[in-house]
Structure 1
């Protein structure tokens, strides 16, 4: 005997929410989006034309899709016709995939941070986050770009220099065929002026125009014709291409032709195990209690230069400053320590040699500045053999963020015959060290802070707070590659991922609390 089954008599309930449990994730998303300030979306629609879909409805279906590892607008549109939960969230409306993608990539890019921080404020009201301890970390996410369409800055600069040399050679050819008359002297004066100015596409184009005027008077001059054709058809297009490429770099070493905002970086997901660089973005997040409380997207591969721009995003949206920042040694730079001190934020950030300093092998390296004593009164360093390194000169270096670091150089001229000459001075007569006094003071403070009971506890929590978030997003939710192109669009995409993660985590914590109350 089977239970009665007949597809012709299958009737869905008129009210779809009857089929959705009270503690379902969709209901939490519906509640959270409804709590957001509606004025966030009002600026997205200037008016005119046919009435658009309600932005809150569009945001709800996208967030629920992202919570269920659905990132394709085609798949989201398909769910709106097949899945009753999507039908309930959309009010049985069915925007097509183009509308969904346009809303996600164009409408949301201007309000993604307002949307994200609205959810963070709800979490704060519910008591899940306090916005005090800020666990910062980063990871690389591959861009939606062909990994073989790369452009390298060094190659562009090298070919551009060769092109400039070629232009100078052609300019000399023009001078050689110039006759010694009044008109020719004017031509030579013009060429001298062009030589003084930097070579650009405008300069090459101006030279071509001058040659055209010259050829009108000397149409049978084959040398000038040849030079003009070479300038017009070869050098000018290439110079314009190199100038365009240089403007795209914006301080970067590479970019992809498919997604010009993506930079080639070394990824952890190296399936070929050959260290191949891939186009991608450096994603930075700040977490607390495994909730994402801040995010940013960067085009630089290194983490040290991302901390300040990341924190400036919080300042831009008037977010409360955390009491402390906890991050790994990748962020331990003089610039970042100085920023935290200026903003009155406690930095629980290791520097690159922190863990090595406690090992015996490190302490035996007498040539390292950390194993020397500093005489502040005389501004001299004293090595293990009692010899003094005296100050010689200082140099300044400015970072990409505008921070100026001062490096002081010290020499020891008494290395001859020292028993540590081979290991300390590398068998040279003079031992030279470069050191930032300010950074040495910062490192001493960091050592004391991390050695305290509170510092050990906070830094110990880093691995269980921020790193599992990346594991959840990249491994469990299968988000290891962007589907959109461009920095602004991918920032929106990552922001939606972070919002979906927070809602998913909120739903899990809520259900766990209900279970505990039931028991």
Structure 2
């Protein structure tokens, strides 16, 4: 039988004094790297937030910032858990110098102080990386991911639902006004400056219209009360109550929801900035719609140089504002932008060309164009021969499709595209018509010449030797960041609500990621 020691009390130190906290932390530990790196950063914007009067801060903002960065690097995201770690965790105790701010102080610092200057603080990190030669803003790799909001999953408000409810309310209002007007005409009672019959002819109503209706009915009510018409007064009071307590609040609610929606199709009641998106990963693995944000980042040499938070479910309309933000932060744009097919649109290609940026950006046809089945398909209109002299195309049966007109269309973002329409003179008697088109009339095709030019230019860069190398690097550059954050750090859901507060959380994650990355460069 194994004999156990009789001394079951384990002591760290038999001396009179406890060991120093600094002695318990290895020389090359990550917490020391965090502290040393942040000390090298220019955090004047953060310190400036404390220069507007008032008493002295009990806790230094640089210390609080270090605690948050290290916390987000080690999967401690809650202010309560950070406060606990500063009491129990040796690393946090060393970082805070033994100070113990409560969770309210930590939360106030993150939600108020950092929120105001997070963009400038993050740029201080990037400028430090540039000063050390880690980044040069030459090859800029862009990609996005969706992060779930802290909002309730079932707090959705849909634009379609607002449209339906408001249409039903307008129909009810129109019927109500017509009925009130009919009763008034039968009684030959005059009221107000505006005829209710005119309001009843409207198809839609605003909250101002409903408020005006209530005023007209109140004016009529006062006249009836002066005439002593008891039954009429009772009926009209009921009508006024319905307008004031039912119709008007609902109309105001729908207008307020439309103001929150903006150009989106949905939002969350508990986080108005979040949009419902189809997440790739959810508890049931079925792509459930949940409130979230589209996070766009750009990297170079493995470091994150910029990030932005968008409510757009897709990536297409995020590239231009993201690069404009980069221009504002750096004062210049990168030489090359590398992105996947989610960014391949005419608007983005034209923007990159206008700003002299090489677009290493795929589009939806890039991989299909390289397949033999695509090239050999006789009904692929992209392969049909074009005759510049007659401005016409020839179908597989040799019939001519001539130019008819040019149509201008706008994308969801308001970008105008010119489409040239070509129509066959006759498809009668064609033995292959059922395979060529489902239209009852003659075959029609459309051509966007500007998009084709920009697409060919992008494809040439993608297929060049440099393009192939950069395409391979893109998956390593950007996807690594998302893998670290969502996989290793298990950050798949924001803990704060609102775009600005969410931006603070993501900024802390990216600063921590860049600091970790510097360790690999040594």
Matched, 1:351 2:363: yes
Q: Which residue of 2 aligns with 1:109?
A: 115
Q: Which residue of 2 aligns with 1:485?
A: 497
Aligned pair count? 509
| C-alpha contact 1:365 1:424 (8 A) present in aligned 2 | no
Matched, 1:60 2:72: no
Q: Which residue of 2 aligns with 1:409?
A: 421
RMSD of aligned C-alpha atoms? 2.4
- 1:373-396 Cα shifts (integer Å, max 9, x gaps): 334454333333333322223333
| C-alpha contact 1:396 1:407 (8 A) present in aligned 2 | yes
| C-alpha contact 1:327 1:348 (8 A) present in aligned 2 | yes
Match of 1:468 among 480, 485, 490: 480
Q: Which residue of 2 aligns with 1:517?
A: none
Task: Give the C-alpha shift of residue 256 in structure 1.
Answer: 0.9
| C-alpha contact 1:416 1:429 (8 A) present in aligned 2 | no
Q: Which moved more, 1:204-213 or 1:316-325?
A: 316-325
In structure 2, what is the Cα distance between the partners aligned to 1:431 and 1:131? 48
Q: Which residue of 2 aligns with 1:36?
A: 41
Q: Which residue of 2 aligns with 1:139?
A: 145
Q: Which residue of 1 aligns with 2:163?
A: 157
In structure 2, what is the Cα distance between the partners aligned to 1:480 and 1:95? 27
| C-alpha contact 1:365 1:423 (8 A) present in aligned 2 | no
Return closer, same or farther for 1:427/1:217 CA change in 2, 3 Å cut-off.
closer
Task: Give the C-alpha shift of residue 397 in structure 1.
Answer: 3.0
| Structure 2, unaligned runs of 5 or more | none
Task: Give the C-alpha shift of residue 401 in structure 1.
Answer: 4.4
Task: Give the C-alpha shift of residue 37 in structure 1.
Answer: 2.0
| C-alpha contact 2:177 2:196 (8 A) present in aligned 1 | no
Matched, 1:80 2:86: yes
Matched, 1:148 2:160: no
- The runs of 4+ residues in structure 1 deviating greater than 6 Å are 1-4, 180-183
SS in 1 for 2:386: strand
Task: Give the C-alpha shift of residue 28 in structure 1.
Answer: 2.0
| C-alpha contact 2:178 2:196 (8 A) present in aligned 1 | no
- 1:456-488 Cα shifts (integer Å, max 9, x gaps): 111121112111211111000110100001111
| C-alpha contact 2:191 2:219 (8 A) present in aligned 1 | no
- 1:165-189 Cα shifts (integer Å, max 9, x gaps): 1111111112112248996175563
In structure 1, what is the Cα distance between the partners aligned to 2:337 and 2:270? 36
Q: Which residue of 2 aligns with 1:26?
A: 31
Matched, 1:444 2:456: yes
| Structure 1, unaligned runs of 5 or more | 511-519
| C-alpha contact 1:266 1:276 (8 A) present in aligned 2 | yes
- 1:310-366 Cα shifts (integer Å, max 9, x gaps): 112112223431111111111111111011101111111111121112223222433
Q: Which residue of 2 aligns with 1:515?
A: none
Normalising by the residue count of structure 2, what TM-score does the alignment of the two structures yield?
A: 0.91
Q: Which residue of 1 aligns with 2:98?
A: 92
Q: Which residue of 2 aligns with 1:204?
A: 210
| C-alpha contact 1:255 1:261 (8 A) present in aligned 2 | yes
Task: Give the C-alpha shift of residue 217 in structure 1.
Answer: 2.0
| C-alpha contact 1:366 1:420 (8 A) present in aligned 2 | no
Normalising by the residue count of structure 1, what TM-score does the alignment of the two structures yield?
A: 0.92
Q: Which moved more, 1:292-301 or 1:207-216?
A: 207-216
In structure 1, what is the Cα distance between the partners aligned to 2:70 and 2:191? 75
Task: Give the C-alpha shift of residue 422 in structure 1.
Answer: 2.0
